[in-house]
Structure 1
C-alpha cells in the first residue's frame, strides 16, 4: 500500500489531482537573508523560506506567500549526530516528521506513523534529487531548470515535478531538509 500524504491544515491549495511543476530558486528574496523561493508554473510565489540568521540555522520556517508559517524545521545536535524534527505550525509539541538516518546523498524521513517513510536520493553533483515513498515510487523529482530555449540555468535554480495527490508543502519541506543537510540553504 502506498503511504498517503495529507495536506497541511492551513494550506488548502497544497494538494492537486494532477502532476505539477514548480521552480525552486535557492535564494532568498530578502537582501542579507538565506533561504529559497518556490514559484508555480504561472510564475507566482507559492512558498518561501527566509532565514535572517546564519546560513544553516538550527531553525528554519516554511512560509506561504503571505508569510504565514506552515512548517518549522528544527535541527537537533546530539554530538556527534544531527537530526531534524519537523513541526506543523498547529502542533509544536509533537514532531510531524523526523529525519533519522542520513548521509549527504540519502536520508530517511519518518512520519508519526512508523510505517510511512520516505527516502531522498541525489546525484553526485547534487542537482538531481528524487523523493521516493516507502515502496520506492517516485513522488517528486528536482533537477536543474532549463529555459524554454533549452539553456541550463544555474545550480541554484531547480525544476521540481510533484506527482498528483502529493502535498506540495511536504515535498518543499523535504527539499529544505536536503538543503540544510548539504549546507546549501
Structure 2
C-alpha cells in the first residue's frame, strides 16, 4: 500500500465522491508494530498495535479521543487470528470489542481468502456488516491488488470497520 506521506507506508480511503475519509499510516516501515488510523484532518482515531506472545499474535486497537490517547482506558478491541494449520485457504480472526470494560465479548468475525484482497466482517449472528472487494473499472478490469472497495452497512461504526480492515491487512503483511 502506498501512503500520501513520503517515506512512510499506509493508504488513503476515499468515499464514492472522491473525498478523503480516512488516512492510514505507520510513519515507519512496512509491517511495523503500530499503525495509526486518522480522519481526513489527520486526527488519530485508533492506534493499532501488534502484540506477540510466543507463537501467538494478537492485535489491539486503542481508541483516541480528540487526538489524545488515554492509556488508562486500555485497549478498545482485540483481534486474534484463528489457527492457520486447519484453515484450508481461509484466513479468519475473531474480534473482541469492549476490552476496556468488563472483559469484553466476541462481537465480530473477519473472514477472507488467503492471497486475495477480499474479506467480510460479520457479527456474532453471521450477518455481513462490511465487505471488501477488489475494485474494478466499469468495463470489469481489475484496478490492482491495492485498490479496494469497502461497503459498510448503515448504522455501523465506519471507523471501527476501517480499523478491522487495517488489522486484516497487517495480519496478511499488506501494511
Query: Please, what TM-score do these two structures have when normalized by structure 1?
Result: 0.81
Partner of 2:94: 108
Partner of 1:126: 116
Segments of structure 1 that go 5 or more residues without pairing to the other structure are 1-25
Counterpart pick for 1:72 among 47, 71, 79 = 47
1:27 matched to 2:2: yes
Q: In 1, are the aligned partners of 2:77 and 2:96 still within 8 Å (CA)? A: yes
List aligned pairs for 1:85-164, cutoff 5 A: 85-90=60-65, 91-93=70-72, 94-102=74-82, 105-112=91-98, 114-164=104-154
Segments of structure 2 that go 5 or more residues without pairing to the other structure are 85-90
Aligned residues: 160
Q: Which runs of 4+ in 1 moved over 4 A?
A: none
Partners of 2:30 and 2:115 lie apart in 1 by: 20
SS at match of 2:170: helix
Which has the bigger relative contact order, CA under 8 A and spacing at least 6? 1
Offset at residue 103 of structure 1 (A): 5.0
